[in-house]
Chains A and B, each alone.
Chain A
Amino acid sequence: MGCGMGKSEPLLKECHKESISVPAISAALLIQRWYRQHVARLEMRRRCTWKIFQSIEYAGEQDQIKLYNFFGFLMDHFTPASSESKTDLNSSLLHRNLISHIFRKNEICLDTEWKRYFCYKSIEVTKSYTGPHLTFPMTFCGVSKLVEAFKHKEQLHARYVLQLLEETWRLLRTFPNISHVIACHTKPITICGDLHGHLEDLLLIFYKNGLPSSDKPYVFNGDFVDRGKHSLEILLILFGFLLVYPNDVHLNRGNHEDHIVNLRYGFTKEVLGKYRVHGKKILKLLQMIFSWLPLATVIDNKVLIVHGGISDTTDLDKIARVDRQKYASALRPPKMKVHGCMTKMNENREREAFGQVEGRRRVCSLTYHSSAPDHRHDLPRRSLNNTPVCSKLDLSVDEKLNRRCRLSGFDQARCELKKSDSYLESKTTETDLDEWKQIVDVLWSDPMPQNGCIPNEMRGGGYYWGPDVTEEVLRRNNLQLLIRSHECKQDGYEFCHNRRVITIFSASNYYEVGSNRGAFIRMGPDLVPHFIQYQASTTCRELTLRQSVGWTERSALQALREQLFVHRSDLISAFQEFDPNNKGMISVTHWASTTERVLNLGLPWRVLRPQLVSSTQHGMMDYQQWIKELSITEPKLEQYSLLPFQISDNSILDTMYKNHSNLETIFRIIDTDHSGLISFKEFHQTWELLRSHLKTEISAKAIADLAQSIDFNKDGSIDINEFLEAFRLVDISAHN
């Protein structure tokens, strides 16, 4: 380093005292100014790029929640025994039946049924299997062997997977909701954030920090799965270590430890792809395991670690008491019934067989000691009017229902119409809703710089909480620091709220190669966090800042152009509102505001304009030309318009591209046996569901034609993956 300032500064002054000329200073200033401008512009580009990726990511999450809320609405409002027989209602019932199984609680509750269903003993490990062999009980050697095997890209036999998962399930059931850890002088605690299937990052952490052991306690703060390609391997490794060191490895549940989210974000697909025969069982087992994951970890009663964050109502005591395994998916409260006190409701009360059997049955845990009141089993049915808390209940449940109506895209009128037809079951759900809220808030919330606590509309779940809420919640629960994950940070970690909150994120290169570093925390009994950062992959370490910003930016713009492309018909109609004389031109200002209105991503379109729009004249642009250019800039997009088969209706294509994630999610839900195949009828019903959710018109003929044209095997069933590939719908999410 040529900057030996200590020695050379006086030296410089000695030698050049007389000759420090104005030109020298000017030269220095020039370079310095140039450099600072360069860095500032780079930073601006980096921030924009970040915003693009983040917005698209969160929009997807919001979409998923909307879809799920729509399903929830179907579930709540359309009963088998309704007296109405409108065709609309009938089709809704049909839809409901298609999806009802995802709401069904875990059917297996007795140990004997368990064993029968998940019996791995009958699965033979043949001689042709070259992967690792596991013996139980698990040992450190065994897990290390597993790590090595995964490093060498081997796959664990389904039998061992099931066995390992079963052992994990047994263990997790004995854990409380909140893990308590004591920080020890000789054993600093390591805290890791989101991994999202990035096996290389986990391996890098182990390389830098050592494997988990009784001398090396670890906390993993959720989101182990989805997006990356090795989610299952990560789970198996973490569970393996958990089995060997149950007191020293602590896992927190994340919002992605949720089978509904997994349908959309790749984990379901990964498992089914890797385990064609036993994948379904594995997923089912995981669904239960996820619900048994602890919700939080507390170090020395001073440091709280949760995946998402908090809200103004976060209460550790309440969280400690919830019956966490009830919430297989945090996206939906436990069987929420419409309360009979609703003023707009019809008095029609019919029994809903489905709900009645399901709703209150608890899994009898063998060793789990619940302090929750047992009488929750059989709550007295509250009658319409005669409870003092009735009116209070009314409002909150009513409010909540309305909110969910809105969230799922149903307007008020439609809600009310259906309400009068639907069944009313007046079970009290206030405690359940409260519990559910505690869980959703810690799994989904994000911090914000301003004071206050507002619903997290971007993600669709949890809250945005401010520094005042941090202070209050920490004070109330006697804590001094909150560590959370859930948001990707460029440097792998970030402080906020006067350094009372740390975000720790362990998946490097999350959005793109070179987009961000990952980090983990080491903490001793002084509870001072020390950060270690890293970035997996050798190629990106050699990139300069400018190169890595450029690379990531290119990738983000590509993703953005795809989003613009799939919304092109909506965009053009919206632009035409500002082009009454049909000149094909629109002002830049209108372009920016309209594009934001259609895409709803909260992006700085004016700043992005030079990258997205090739030319403007006097503040006007040719939007038709622009849309055409989008596909030319991204040649990949052009092929979306050139498909090997005819489709009678172009709008169906547009709907498909815009909603490919929803479509795929619905497919996977309908495909109950996870075979990857659905029948024509089910395919049609998928579209019906989608149409219902989106409230758009798609002609039945178009769907029928589509089904015909993609029955590649001509056997009356459609292969989901083939379908998605054929329409290049896979490409859209290829870089995710």
Chain B
Amino acid sequence: MAPKKDVKAPAAAAKKAEPAKAAAAPAPEPAPAPAAPAAVDLSAVKIEFAADVIDDYRESFGLFDRVGDSKVAYIQIADIMRALGQNPTNKEVAKMLGNPTPEDMTAKRVEFEGFLPMMQTVVNNPNKAVYEDYVEGLRVFDKEGNGTVMGAELRIVLSTLGEKMTEAEIDALMTGQEDENGCVNYEAFVKHIMSV
């Protein structure tokens, strides 16, 4: 599958993303690329998941319905996709939802049939990174070139750049990673974060 050019994604080639451990591997052909940077035309997305996979997705989708109307709130969509093995950024998801307001994110809901093309879009544009990508990314902050980064700097970066994380999230992420000098060995760090 040809890697899609995406300004935000890392330059490294993305491996084809596999949806949650399904028996039958879906074999989607390249879907039509989103035309403009603005809204994604979901109605044009052809669903290519196998029936089994769709059933798996449907069941997982149902787990997130806290209200009982067979729908989920916009704000949950990104998490459902992540739970199903994808890795979209919040911005990508917002784009697919038509860039809703914060109020819309909690108030508006979507049913499974509406979710499926979104999932297909994300599967078709995987942002899967491998070990080397993370290590390369972190090497940027390795001022002394000795395999470590300053925990403090990492924290600042994570809370100020990109899709900012909260203090609590960063704490949870960094637990046990900093040595007594406040340094993080980033290869070990990446191994840690990839060992889920």
Nearest CB on B from A586, distance (A): 12
CA distance A2 to B159 in the complex (A): 10
Q: Is the CB of B134 within 8 A of A30?
A: yes
Choice from A24, A31, A39, A618 contacting B24 with Cβ under 8 Å: A618
Choice from B60, B127, B133 contacting A44 with Cβ under 8 Å: B60
Q: Which residues of A contact B193 (CB under 8 A)?
A: 31, 34-35, 38
Q: Which residues of B contact A26 (CB under 8 A)?
A: 8-11, 137
Interface positions of B from 43 to 99, Cβ below 8 Å from A: 50, 52, 55-56, 59-60, 62-63, 66-69, 78-83, 85-90
Q: Is the CB of B155 within 8 A of A606?
A: no
Residue B169 at the chain A interface, CB threshold 8 Å: yes
Q: Which residues of B contact A277 (CB under 8 A)?
A: none
A24 and B161 contact, Cβ closer than 8 Å, known pairs A3-B167, A610-B21, A617-B23: yes
Nearest CB on B from A616, distance (A): 4
Residue A353 at the chain B interface, CB threshold 8 Å: no
Q: Is the CB of B52 within 8 A of A588?
A: yes
Q: Which residues of B contact A34 (CB under 8 A)?
A: 87, 129, 134, 193-194
| Interface pick from A4-12, A146-154, A185-193, A626-634 | A4-12
Q: Is the CB of B163 within 8 A of A29?
A: yes
Nearest CB on B from A110, distance (A): 53
CA distance A43 to B140 in the complex (A): 31
Q: Which residues of B contact A125 (CB under 8 A)?
A: none
CA distance A619 to B25 in the complex (A): 10
Choice from A33, A42, A546 contacting B87 with Cβ under 8 Å: A33
A36 and B78 contact, Cβ closer than 8 Å, known pairs A30-B129, A450-B67: yes
Residue of A25, A27, A448 most packed against chain B (CB within 10 A): A27
Q: Which residues of A contact B83 (CB under 8 A)?
A: 40-41, 43-44
Q: Is the CB of A607 within 8 A of B157?
A: no
Kindly supply a per-residue 1/0 record for chain B positions 27-46, scoring 1 wherever the CB is within 8 Å of any chain A CB and 0 otherwise. 00000000000000000000
Residue A389 at the chain B interface, CB threshold 8 Å: no
Residue B106 at the chain A interface, CB threshold 8 Å: no
Q: Which residues of B contact A24 (CB under 8 A)?
A: 140-141, 157, 161
Q: Is the CB of B196 within 8 A of A546?
A: yes
Residue A210 at the chain B interface, CB threshold 8 Å: no
Nearest CB on A from B187, distance (A): 14
Q: Which residues of A contact B63 (CB under 8 A)?
A: 44, 47-48, 51, 604, 607
Nearest CB on A from B89, distance (A): 6
Q: Is the CB of B59 within 8 A of A29?
A: no
For B155, the closest partner residue in chain A by CB is A2
Residue A348 at the chain B interface, CB threshold 8 Å: no
Choice from A12, A605, A617 contacting B160 with Cβ under 8 Å: A12
For A587, the closest partner residue in chain B by CB is B52
Residue B175 at the chain A interface, CB threshold 8 Å: yes
Nearest CB on B from A556, distance (A): 15
Residue B110 at the chain A interface, CB threshold 8 Å: no
Residue A37 at the chain B interface, CB threshold 8 Å: yes
CA distance A546 to B173 in the complex (A): 11
For B189, the closest partner residue in chain A by CB is A31
Residue B13 at the chain A interface, CB threshold 8 Å: no
CA distance A448 to B67 in the complex (A): 8
Residue A21 at the chain B interface, CB threshold 8 Å: yes
Q: Which residues of B contact A35 (CB under 8 A)?
A: 165, 169, 173, 193
Residue of A2, A5, A51 most packed against chain B (CB within 10 A): A2
Residue A102 at the chain B interface, CB threshold 8 Å: no
Nearest CB on A from B165, distance (A): 6
Residue A449 at the chain B interface, CB threshold 8 Å: yes
Residue B26 at the chain A interface, CB threshold 8 Å: no
Residue B3 at the chain A interface, CB threshold 8 Å: no
Residue B1 at the chain A interface, CB threshold 8 Å: no
Choice from A2, A39, A610 contacting B151 with Cβ under 8 Å: A2
Residue of A33, A592, A610 most packed against chain B (CB within 10 A): A33
A619 and B59 contact, Cβ closer than 8 Å, known pairs A33-B127, A43-B83: no
Q: Is the CB of A40 within 8 A of B134?
A: no
Q: Is the CB of A20 within 8 A of B60?
A: no
Interface positions of B from 163 to 196, Cβ below 8 Å from A: 163-165, 167, 169-173, 175-176, 182, 193-194, 196
Q: Which residues of B contact A3 (CB under 8 A)?
A: 155-156, 159, 167, 170
Closest 7 CB pairs of A and B: A27-B137, A2-B152, A40-B82, A28-B162, A44-B83, A2-B155, A28-B161
13 further A-B pairs in the complex, CB-CB below 8 A; given A12-B160, A588-B52: A5-B160, A26-B137, A28-B157, A31-B138, A31-B173, A32-B158, A40-B81, A43-B79, A448-B68, A450-B68, A589-B55, A605-B59, A607-B60
Complex A-B: 12 CB contacts under 8 Å: A1-B155, A2-B156, A27-B138, A30-B129, A32-B163, A34-B134, A37-B82, A604-B62, A607-B60, A617-B23, A619-B23, A619-B50
